[in-house]
Each structure stands twice: as structure tokens, then as C-alpha cells.
């Protein structure tokens, strides 16, 4: 079992930056680098959406809405995933979740609706005011 904990959320003004962190832990051995790791977000009354994903081979995918503004990165030695958010907009306001899964990212992406990420954090709130 893997536990994920997000931190770094808060309230900021439009145009400002914020960096989220996700720390993974487990009671037994695992190789965090071999996981698909993603950031999702969900605003009240809205569907959950994938923000950024980094696969075991280091490949990265961004949602078009954040491309050029957000950066996902990892520190495998610390089992941490980060989401650097720049030039924040009001539309970025949401609860942000960290997710991880030992399966390949492309497998999960191809089978949405049939399966979901196995591990999720509790979420951290990001509020952006104009």
C-alpha cells in the first residue's frame, strides 16, 4: 500500500506562483520511479481533469490549459512529485490531487472509464483570486 500526501496549496492572486508537493510512503519496499505519477484537479461542480503526468521513463504530458505555465517534476530518491504552477489564473482554482499507479501511464490513459489510479492523496486546495 502506498500513501500519498499533498502539501503547498493556498490562496494567491492571479499571476502569482505556487508549488505543490506530493510525498509517497509505503510500509514495504517499492520503486517509486516505476510508477505513473499524475496531478489531477477538480473544481466544485466540475469534472476531474488530469493536469500533468510523468511516466516511469520520464516522459511528461500536460493538459493544454496549463501547458507553458505548469511544470511537473520528481525526486525519486525522496519519493516526491512536484507541480510548479506559474502565472496562475482564476480558472486554476480547484482541489489538486496527487495520484500514482504501478501501471504504465499510457495503459491508464487508454482505459479511462474502466480503471483508475490505485493510489490518491487527500488533496490540497488552490484558490486564485483576480
Q: Are the beta carbons of 50 and 40 closer than 8 angstroms? A: yes
pLDDT of residue 76: 87
pLDDT of residue 27 exceeding 90, the answer is no
Which contacts of 61-69 are long-range, i.e. CB under 8 A and separated by 24 or more positions?
61/105, 65/91, 66/92
pLDDT of residue 119 exceeding 80, the answer is yes
- Residue 92 CB: number of other CB atoms within 10 A? 22
- For residue range 53-111, list pLDDT tens digits in order: 999 889 999 999 999 999 999 998 899 999 999 999 999 999 999 999 999 999 999 99
- For residue range 38-57, list pLDDT tens digits in order: 999 999 999 999 999 999 88
CA–CA separation, 69 and 58 (whole Å): 19
Amino acid at each position: 500500500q502506498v500513501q500519498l500526501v499533498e502539501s503547498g496549496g493556498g490562496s494567491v492572486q492571479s499571476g502569482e506562483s505556487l508549488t505543490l508537493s506530493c510525498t509517497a510512503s509505503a510500509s514495504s519496499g517499492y520503486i517509486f520511479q516505476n510508477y505513473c505519477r499524475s496531478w489531477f484537479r477538480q473544481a466544485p461542480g466540475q469534472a476531474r481533469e488530469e493536469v500533468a503526468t510523468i511516466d516511469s521513463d520520464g516522459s511528461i504530458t500536460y493538459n493544454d490549459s496549463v501547458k507553458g505555465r505548469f511544470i511537473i517534476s520528481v525526486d525519486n530518491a525522496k519519493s516526491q512529485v512536484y507541480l510548479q504552477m506559474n502565472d496562475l489564473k482564476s480558472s486554476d482554482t480547484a482541489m489538486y490531487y496527487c495520484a500514482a499507479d504501478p501501471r504504465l501511464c499510457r495503459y491508464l490513459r487508454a482505459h479511462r472509464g474502466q480503471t483508475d489510479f490505485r493510489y490518491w492523496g487527500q488533496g490540497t486546495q488552490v484558490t486564485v483570486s483576480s
